[in-house]
A and B are shown apart, each in its own frame.
Chain A
Amino acid sequence: MLNADAIHMDWGTGKTAPVKKANRLKATRLGSAIVHDYWSDLFSAKERGKKVVWYNGTYIPPFFHAHDLAWVHGEAWSAYLAARHVEGDAQSAGESRGYDRELCSYARTHIGQALMDKKDLQDGKIDPQSAKGIAISQLPLPDMIVNAYPYCSSGQQWDEMIYRLFDKRVPIFHVNVPMLWGGRKDAAYLSGSEMDEKIGYVSRQLRAMTDFLVENTGRKYDWDRLSEVMAFIKKSAELRLEAMDMCTATPSPASFFDWIVSIAHVNFMPGTQRLVDFFEAMKAEIAERVANGEGAVPQEKYRFFFDGMMNWNKVGWLAEKFAANNACVVAGRYTHMSFWQEPQAIDLADPVAGMAHNYLACPNNSGAPYMIGEIDRLCEKFKIDGMVMHVSRTCRGMTNSQHLIVDSARRHGRAALFFEGDVADESFYKDELLNTRLEAMIESLDSKRIMAA
């Protein structure tokens, strides 16, 4: 049964909400400060004379950082609005222009905001002092647009729309990160001749992208600075992976939700010593928890793997729901298979090829058999009991192989549930569906354990 204590009724709203039980890492507070400072710096970037790049897709900010640019990640901006629950009006603005609700909600939010809210703010229709007004008015407009999407065909159209919304006056650059199908005899996960060829292809484009940055700033590209930035990124990535590895302990000292709130850091935070300090602090706290037998979920009974893009409206909500049922979501595809997941590939003396290697390593970007093989390996490593499949309604990139992932998980004796939600449109999330399915999965796991005993 679903833990009865896990649910209480909020009589004010009539909605049920889980009792908070997750034992979050204290180090995440350091991370929050980094994120806060990033946005603050970004909001004042133009005042400091910096040019601003809007980009979508993979984690290319080190190229911008080394060239002393400010950067806005479209997905991150939409997630930022969603996490603050101020995304609705931007989405409505997009819908009123004719964007279908089934379109990627990241894109709908970003385009809607870029298209309408800026204008409404300028026209005085939005109060600049409101929470929404403050968030919207602060975002600096782009001097350049860069698109660098692996796998998802929706991502490049999104930036094409932004390009058109600015009347094609903002220069745009595309980096194609092609899929690794893995059809050749020497194919394996992130290796083989296909991988080698694609690294060369993406590397050439990344170098061309630096020419684009030079052309639009009139400044020479500083390759030494890129190496310096990447030294911090590489160290941070190594620390993160080492800390993740410690979560093989039972109970797991950190959960998927700790890793999800530190996604921004490996995704688009500046590569500095501060980033390294943050991941060192995270690792130290996790090591301390392992030594003390302290878990991210105090009474861990079940260990789950989270698959799918995060539902940014519901991060805390979901963390507490699973914790309240003594379920620790230990690992996930989004957290454990993306974002500088292959730091050993980066040669700091000439980092571009290693960066291309990492961009190609987006888990969706590998053919399903290879990607699923890696998921199965992670599930084995972290002793996973069941799969929690977030079917993110408007994100086909993450939902594409989910039936196959479950097929493989069940062959390996793991339970699985699907629940529908979305990355930045909470209207697709149905809490009762998840409650019912979670209850059923937990009952099934209990029965299995009783039988085994």
Chain B
Amino acid sequence: MHFPVELAHAAGALPVIIQEAEDPITDGEGAVFSFYCGYNRSVADQALKGRLKFLDAIMFGDHCVQLLGTADIIRWHDPELPIVFEQPVSSLDMDWAFDETRSVYVKLKEDVEELLGARITDDALKASISLFNRNRQLIRKIYEMRVAGTTDLSARQMQHIIKSSMVMDRQEHTGLLERLVEAIEARPASRRQGMPVYLSGHLCQAPKLELLDMIESTGTVVVGDDLYHGYRFISTDIDEEDDPMTALANWYLRKNEKVPCPTRADGDADWDEFLVRDMRRTGAEGLIVLVAKFCEPHMYYFPEIQERCRREGIPMLKLETEHDSMPMEAFKTRLETFVEVARRRRRHEKPESKQERSHAQC
């Protein structure tokens, strides 16, 4: 989640962020307990089924306790697959956070160089940083267009954009993004109608596309998110002028200022505060919290988010998601109720627009 893939790219590798698979977990059931999150169970399952053999190595080293276990499961069952593991500091507001993070990334750079037999020069790293920044900036531009209402890209389409950037060659992906932005600018779409909502949560894996479709089919339009397969992933650029290792360390620490991550300890960052601010920025009128079942960091912070929404009068719906066994019909009923209640509350606050009345009648 927090590894600078620019390092792998600068060494000549294609960095691919491992995704949760769609298929049911079978082999992985014997390796990871059922009370672990779907992402970890799925990654272990893919490893045991031999589906990660296309990789030359895995760069691991996050702080999530479940992910640490998954790294060990992969190593245990496939000792031939190199795993590069360096753990960045998890307490971001401690005095040594910058120095330690930088030294961890320097070690990570050495690990990658040794593994690939390639030297990562400052020039190569700066070029990778620049490319990845460009990629992030283009996606952020699409996000801005969505807020401005000049594109009608759906939540499903936004996820496609992000997920493809996680697994594709960034040069090729950036070229596609440039064409997409040009196309949007050339033919701006009219704003889709519906209650503007914000999606929060899912810190590792992508929410299922069917769920995103369902959310938007109940009369909402997603205008912003802090999902990992969303704005969280592209929120922060890396300084292109600074020494690249220093810039990477600063990027790691600064990401939390842009979008707080509950897997980090940072007394200065409040997820609930961020959400309220970002909802105002994007014009969202309701919050849908997607909690991946068994995600402990999210569980810790959810009560604060819930309380803040109550205080601010923000309609909020929590949906707990799983790898499988998703109760989609129950979700639909809850979403419809959420939208109805939020609309009714809004009607009490301000007169309903003509367009929305029309949509609501559909």
A163 within 8 A of B: yes
Name the A residues within 8 Å of B297 (CB-CB).
153-154, 157
B32's nearest neighbour on chain A, judged by CB, is A403
User: Chain B's nearest CB lies how many Å from the CB of A340?
Assistant: 23
Q: Interface stretch among B68-76, B152-160, B249-257?
A: B68-76
Q: Which one of A157, A172, A173, A179 contacts B300 once the chains associate, using CB atoms below 8 Å? A: A157
A120 within 8 A of B: no
Asked whether B94 lies within 8 Å of A174 as measured between CB atoms, the reply is yes
Asked whether B72 lies within 8 Å of A367 as measured between CB atoms, the reply is yes
A404 within 8 A of B: yes
User: Chain A's nearest CB lies how many Å from the CB of B109?
Assistant: 15
Bound-state CA distance A397–B67 (Å) is 11
B215 within 8 A of A: no
Q: Which one of B63, B65, B83, B100 contacts A400 once the chains associate, using CB atoms below 8 Å? A: B65
Asked whether A156 lies within 8 Å of B66 as measured between CB atoms, the reply is no
Q: Which one of A97, A147, A393 contacts B303 once the chains associate, using CB atoms below 8 Å? A: A97
Asked whether B89 lies within 8 Å of A176 as measured between CB atoms, the reply is yes
B107's nearest neighbour on chain A, judged by CB, is A197
Q: Which one of A153, A183, A368 contacts B296 once the chains associate, using CB atoms below 8 Å? A: A153
Which residues 303-345 of B sit at the A interface, judged by CB distance below 8 A?
303-304, 306-307
Bound-state CA distance A204–B90 (Å) is 16
Name the B residues within 8 Å of A156 (CB-CB).
90-91, 265
- Say whether, besides A153-B63, A153-B65, A174 and B72 are in contact (CB < 8 Å): no
A28 within 8 A of B: no
Q: Which one of B76, B265, B304 contacts A368 once the chains associate, using CB atoms below 8 Å? A: B76
B274 within 8 A of A: no
Name the A residues within 8 Å of B267 (CB-CB).
160, 163, 168, 172
B3 within 8 A of A: no
A373-413: CB near B (< 8 Å → 1, else 0) gives 00000000000000000010100110111111001000000
- Say whether, besides A153-B296, A403-B32, A396 and B65 are in contact (CB < 8 Å): yes
Among A107, A156, A400, the one with the most B-chain Cβ atoms within 10 Å of its Cβ is: A400
Asked whether A369 lies within 8 Å of B35 as measured between CB atoms, the reply is no
User: Chain A's nearest CB lies how many Å from the CB of B234?
Assistant: 24
Name the B residues within 8 Å of A163 (CB-CB).
267
A429 within 8 A of B: no
B36's nearest neighbour on chain A, judged by CB, is A396
Among B35, B64, B73, B111, the one with the most A-chain Cβ atoms within 10 Å of its Cβ is: B35
B84 within 8 A of A: yes
B29's nearest neighbour on chain A, judged by CB, is A403
Name the B residues within 8 Å of A205 (CB-CB).
94, 96
User: Chain B's nearest CB lies how many Å from the CB of A261?
Assistant: 27
Bound-state CA distance A103–B85 (Å) is 27
- Say whether, besides A103-B296, A163-B267, A391-B33, A407 and B76 are in contact (CB < 8 Å): yes
Which residues 133-167 of A sit at the B interface, judged by CB distance below 8 A?
147, 151-154, 156-161, 163-164
Asked whether B299 lies within 8 Å of A102 as measured between CB atoms, the reply is yes
Bound-state CA distance A262–B94 (Å) is 34
Asked whether B265 lies within 8 Å of A160 as measured between CB atoms, the reply is yes
B30 within 8 A of A: yes
Bound-state CA distance A173–B85 (Å) is 26
User: Chain B's nearest CB lies how many Å from the CB of A159?
Assistant: 8
B294 within 8 A of A: yes
Asked whether A164 lies within 8 Å of B304 as measured between CB atoms, the reply is yes
Asked whether A403 lies within 8 Å of B30 as measured between CB atoms, the reply is yes
Asked whether B302 lies within 8 Å of A100 as measured between CB atoms, the reply is yes
B262 within 8 A of A: yes
B95 within 8 A of A: yes
Asked whether A157 lies within 8 Å of B296 as measured between CB atoms, the reply is yes
Determine the interface band of chain A, counting residues with CB < 8 A from chain B. 35 or more
B5 within 8 A of A: no
Name the B residues within 8 Å of A317 (CB-CB).
none
Asked whether A368 lies within 8 Å of B262 as measured between CB atoms, the reply is no
How many Cβ-Cβ contacts under 8 Å join chain A to chain B?
127
User: Chain A's nearest CB lies how many Å from the CB of B198?
Assistant: 19
A115's nearest neighbour on chain B, judged by CB, is B303
Bound-state CA distance A173–B97 (Å) is 13
Q: Which one of B69, B84, B87 contacts A401 once the chains associate, using CB atoms below 8 Å? A: B69
Asked whether A98 lies within 8 Å of B75 as measured between CB atoms, the reply is no
B296's nearest neighbour on chain A, judged by CB, is A154
B263's nearest neighbour on chain A, judged by CB, is A153
Bound-state CA distance A368–B32 (Å) is 14
User: Chain B's nearest CB lies how many Å from the CB of A195?
Assistant: 14
Asked whether A400 lies within 8 Å of B72 as measured between CB atoms, the reply is yes
B31 within 8 A of A: yes
- Say whether, besides A153-B63, A157-B265, A172-B267, A104 and B296 are in contact (CB < 8 Å): yes
Bound-state CA distance A97–B293 (Å) is 18
A214 within 8 A of B: no
Q: Which one of B68, B75, B301 contacts A179 once the chains associate, using CB atoms below 8 Å? A: B68
A221 within 8 A of B: no
Bound-state CA distance A107–B64 (Å) is 16
User: Chain A's nearest CB lies how many Å from the CB of B72?
Assistant: 4
Which residues 259-307 of B sit at the A interface, judged by CB distance below 8 A?
262-263, 265-267, 293-294, 296-297, 299-304, 306-307
Which residues 39-82 of B sit at the A interface, judged by CB distance below 8 A?
61, 63-66, 68-69, 71-73, 75-76
Name the A residues within 8 Å of B299 (CB-CB).
99-100, 102-103
Name the B residues within 8 Å of A151 (CB-CB).
65, 68
Asked whether A178 lies within 8 Å of B72 as measured between CB atoms, the reply is no
User: Chain A's nearest CB lies how many Å from the CB of B47?
Assistant: 13
Asked whether B265 lies within 8 Å of A98 as measured between CB atoms, the reply is no
Asked whether A102 lies within 8 Å of B294 as measured between CB atoms, the reply is yes
Asked whether B68 lies within 8 Å of A98 as measured between CB atoms, the reply is no
Asked whether A401 lies within 8 Å of B65 as measured between CB atoms, the reply is no
User: Chain A's nearest CB lies how many Å from the CB of B325?
Assistant: 15
User: Chain B's nearest CB lies how many Å from the CB of A415?
Assistant: 17
Q: Which one of B262, B293, B307 contacts A157 once the chains associate, using CB atoms below 8 Å? A: B262
Name the B residues within 8 Å of A158 (CB-CB).
300
User: Chain B's nearest CB lies how many Å from the CB of A258?
Assistant: 29
Bound-state CA distance A72–B72 (Å) is 33
Asked whether A204 lies within 8 Å of B96 as measured between CB atoms, the reply is yes
Name the B residues within 8 Å of A99 (CB-CB).
299-300, 302-303
Name the B residues within 8 Å of A181 (CB-CB).
61, 71, 83, 85, 87
User: Chain A's nearest CB lies how many Å from the CB of B14?
Assistant: 22
Asked whether B300 lies within 8 Å of A178 as measured between CB atoms, the reply is no
- Say whether, besides A103-B299, A157-B297, A400-B65, A98 and B91 are in contact (CB < 8 Å): no
Bound-state CA distance A86–B96 (Å) is 40
Asked whether B73 lies within 8 Å of A404 as measured between CB atoms, the reply is yes
Bound-state CA distance A34–B5 (Å) is 52
Can you show 23 pairs from A to B with CB atoms below 8 A apart? A99-B300, A102-B299, A103-B299, A153-B296, A154-B300, A156-B91, A156-B265, A157-B296, A158-B300, A160-B266, A164-B304, A168-B267, A173-B94, A174-B265, A179-B68, A208-B94, A368-B73, A368-B76, A396-B296, A400-B68, A400-B72, A403-B30, A403-B32
Give 5 closest A-B pairs by Cβ, nearest first.
A400-B69, A98-B303, A174-B91, A368-B72, A181-B85
Taking beta carbons and an 8 Å cutoff, which residues of B are in contact with A?
Answer: 30-33, 35-36, 61, 63-66, 68-69, 71-73, 75-76, 83-85, 87, 89-91, 94-96, 100, 111, 262-263, 265-267, 293-294, 296-297, 299-304, 306-307
| Known contacts A181-B85, A367-B75; 16 further A-B pairs (Cβ under 8 A) | A97-B303, A99-B303, A151-B65, A154-B65, A156-B265, A157-B262, A157-B265, A160-B266, A164-B304, A174-B90, A179-B87, A368-B72, A396-B66, A400-B65, A400-B69, A401-B69
